[in-house]
Every structure is written in structure tokens, then in C-alpha cells.
Amino acid sequence: MHNTPNQKKPELLVPAGNFEKLETAIHFGADAVYLGGEDFSLRARAGNFSIAEMEAAVRFAHGENVKVYVAVNIFAHNEDVRKLPDYLMQLKEIGPDALIASDPGMVRMIRRHLPEMPIHLSTQANTTNWESCQFWQEQGVERVGLARELSLDEIREICGKAELELECFVHGAMCISYSGRCWMSRFMAGRDANRGDCAQSCRWEYFLTESKREGEYFPIEGDEKGVYLFNSKDLCLLEALPHLIQAGVNSFKIEGRMKTTYYVGVVTNVYRAAIDRYWESPHNFTLPPEWREELESVSHRGYTDAFIHGEPKDDRLLHTFSPYRNYDFLGIVQHPADSSFAKVKVKNRFQVGDSVEIVSIGPTVRQVKIENMRDEEGNPLNEAKPNTQVLIPINGVPMEKHSLVRKKIEKIF
């Protein structure tokens, strides 16, 4: 494998659902992050950024030489169209590096109100061929986020023929419908996926009922956990990454503005390492099995490479059970308190005697036994409780700020 002459190193684009996730994404190697405001973004429940928070986020990211793209990718109704110009003016002041849109009307309005602002077309627009890329380029779009439902051969051909930047999802949740173009959640829960409020009805457990037997639910058993008719496995294209770089994809995007800080840190860490290793030495590239194992440590529904090798077979895409993980996320290192203790922001309970792991850039994983613990005032503690900060002994293990603290769990959820 090789890189083509004059090819620029591709970008790693990471979700930032809040400020903590933004800092984590940047620490673990994001080149760019994407986030949403309180309106117009396709993740209504992602803990989106207020205008003031977005301003702080852009300032912080730019200080770290990281780009920020703001999602305005709902399918707009008339009411949204009326409100958009004011919002665009606020975004202009904040100065993100691009806006992500999918609705043609929104693209047109951004072009009209912010002629200098780069527009990235969201994957939600389902672009599956180079003619569509050409069309969007003529509308003033600078980058197209390709549909997830494309094979490597199709992506290669689009990269060869399209003349604008191309972005590809490489990791995260998949819809059973065409990337979010789905009415299921609206019908079943009154929550509109196309306006950022999907209830993920495709992932619910379903039973069979007979119309005259109210309250009687007959199980349909796909496996011992029941049946999840429409529940797609999650996308993981780590193995395909070298081929996608070779094809000429400009940006690799990780899905998950609603996922945890742990997910953001671990997934960014692995894809950062893979892109860097391939870029430095394409001919000798190998993927260490530990990197793939790291991806198993985050909550997921099993992995699929989906459409990358053509039409997915049944076991590549469907009928999987609910999310599982093999680690508990315990906390985030704030900073070493002194040479013997590090301060940790606690996410989940842990106690003296626990053996934990510290995940750092690399990915590097180191084991630490919690032999004692203190509160912020230095008083001894037996147990660390969520939403507190505690001091844990360093024991010679490097613990840089933003390192993730986790504990292996025997029972897999």
C-alpha cells in the first residue's frame, strides 16, 4: 500500500457533545471536532453548546490548532427557516471553520448569509455518487460527507472523480434505515429523527401480541436475550482505514456526540494511532490486535464493516443485541496533585483495593492498584463516589491530564 503523491494527511474528525468531550477529543489527537448548538443540530439530547459555550469551545480548539465544525443539519421546516438567519449571524461572530448542513434550503441560506463560510454536507444528505458530489460543489459546498451505505470500490471511484473534499464515517452507530432518513421514532415515540430527537426505536426489544389478548406478549427469540429485529451493529472500519486513505478520503469521522467521554477518548486514541502509523510507513503497516481490543472496551453493539465490501450479509448488519462493554469508566485524571498522587474526576464508584487501568495516548494502558485514596483535603477515603474528585496514588505510573481511569468487569453487559 502507498500514499498518492501530493496527498495530504487525512483529518481525524471527532464528536464533541460537551466541553469535557471536546478537551478529551483534542487530547487524544483529533484534528477537528464537530459540535451542535441548542438549535438546528441533529442531536437534540447531546448536551449541546449554548452560544457562549460554543464561543469558548472554538477559542479553546483554535488555541490547540484544532478545527471546529458546527452542525446545522436538521431537515428544516418553515419555522426553522425563519429563525436561521439570526443564528447564522451569531455563528459568524464565533468563527467556526465550517458549518455542517444537509437540507438544500439551509445550504442555500448559509451561502447567502455567510458567503465566506465553508459548508460541509452532512452524511444525512445520503450522497452516494460523484454526480451528486458535483451537484453539491456547484451549490457552494466545500466538502461532502459520503453516505455510510457505500462500498470501498464506490468510494474509490467517487474520490477519483469528485473535485471537492470527501469525508467518510469510520466508526459508530448505524441506522437500519438510510442514515437517519427514518420515521420510526416519530411514529413510536413522537420524537423526530430528522430534527435531532431520535428515540432509537430500532434498537428496542420487540414481542409478538395477538389483537384480542391484551397484555399478553409472546417472546420471539433470536437468541437468549430476545430479538432485536432492526438493531444494527456499530460501524468499525479500522481494518479498512489504509484502503480508505489510499482511495483519497480527506477526513475520517467518528460518530457519537451522545456517547461518553470514555468512548471519545478511546476511539480517538485508536484511530489517531492507526492513521499516524499508516501515514509514517504505509508499506510496513500492521494493526496491533490490542488496538482493536481497545475498541471492544467501549459500549457497543458488536461491530460490522457494513457496506465496505459490498452488500452486508445478515450477520454483518442485523439482529444483534443491546450494547455491551467490558470496562467500567471510573474517571478522568485532572492533573498529578504532587509526585505521589493524581487528582481524578470520578465518573463511577471505585474503592481501595481495586485494580484499575490508566489509558493514555498511544494507546498505552498501565495497571495501578488503588492501595489508598484521599479526598481533596487530603483525608483518607475508602470509596470514590461519582461527581467528586479524589486523589489516587501514582506509584510511578505516568498519569498525564485527561488520561482515562477504568476497571475491567468480569460480567459483560
150, 202, 298, 384: which one contacts ligand SF4 (CB under 6 A)? 202
3-state secondary structure 29-88: CCCEEEEEECCCCCCCCCCCECHHHHHHHHHHHHHCCCEEEEECCCCCCHHHHHHHHHHH
13, 44, 166, 198: which one contacts ligand SF4 (CB under 6 A)? 198
- What's the closest the beta carbon of residue 189 comes to ligand SF4, in angstroms? 9
CA proximity to 76, closest of 115, 125, 112? 125
Residues between 282 and 301 that touch ligand SF4 (CB under 6 A)? none
Residues 122, 67: Cα–Cα separation, whole Å:
17
The residue (of 229 and 365) whose beta carbon lies closer to ligand SF4 is 229
Cell of 8: 495530504
Query: What are residue 346's DSSP bridge partners?
Result: 331
48, 123, 127, 185: which one contacts ligand SF4 (CB under 6 A)? 185
- What's the closest the beta carbon of residue 181 comes to ligand SF4, in angstroms? 8
- What's the closest the beta carbon of residue 124 comes to ligand SF4, in angstroms? 10
Residues 12, 271: Cα–Cα separation, whole Å:
8
Q: How many residues bind ligand SF4 (CB under 6 A)?
A: 12
Q: Can residue 126 be called a binding residue for ligand SF4 (CB under 6 A)? A: no
Residues 153, 52: Cα–Cα separation, whole Å:
43
Q: Can residue 121 be called a binding residue for ligand SF4 (CB under 6 A)? A: no
The residue (of 200 and 348) whose beta carbon lies closer to ligand SF4 is 200
CA distances from 178 to 128, 147, 182, 352 (A): 11, 8, 7, 48
Q: Can residue 184 be called a binding residue for ligand SF4 (CB under 6 A)? A: yes
The residue (of 150 and 245) whose beta carbon lies closer to ligand SF4 is 150
Q: Can residue 200 be called a binding residue for ligand SF4 (CB under 6 A)? A: yes
Q: Can residue 177 be called a binding residue for ligand SF4 (CB under 6 A)? A: yes
Strands 389-393 and 373-375: antiparallel
Residues 68, 379: Cα–Cα separation, whole Å:
41
Stretch that binds ligand SF4, among 111-119, 200-208, 286-294, 306-314 (CB under 6 A): 200-208
- What's the closest the beta carbon of residue 257 comes to ligand SF4, in angstroms? 13
70, 166, 182, 342: which one contacts ligand SF4 (CB under 6 A)? 182
Stretch that binds ligand SF4, among 18-26, 147-155, 179-187, 208-216 (CB under 6 A): 179-187
- How big is the CA angle at 250 (ends 235 and 268), to the nearest 5 degrees? 50
Specify the 3-state DSSP secondary structure of 275: helix
Strands 32-36 and 303-304: unpaired
The residue (of 203 and 406) whose beta carbon lies closer to ligand SF4 is 203
Residues 320, 302: Cα–Cα separation, whole Å:
7
- What's the closest the beta carbon of residue 200 comes to ligand SF4, in angstroms? 5
CA distances from 230 to 184, 204, 314 (A): 11, 8, 11
- What's the closest the beta carbon of residue 178 comes to ligand SF4, in angstroms? 9
The residue (of 165 and 255) whose beta carbon lies closer to ligand SF4 is 255
- What's the closest the beta carbon of residue 197 comes to ligand SF4, in angstroms? 9
Q: Summarize as ranges the residues that interact with ligand SF4 (CB under 6 A).
A: 175-177, 180, 182, 184-185, 193, 198, 200-202
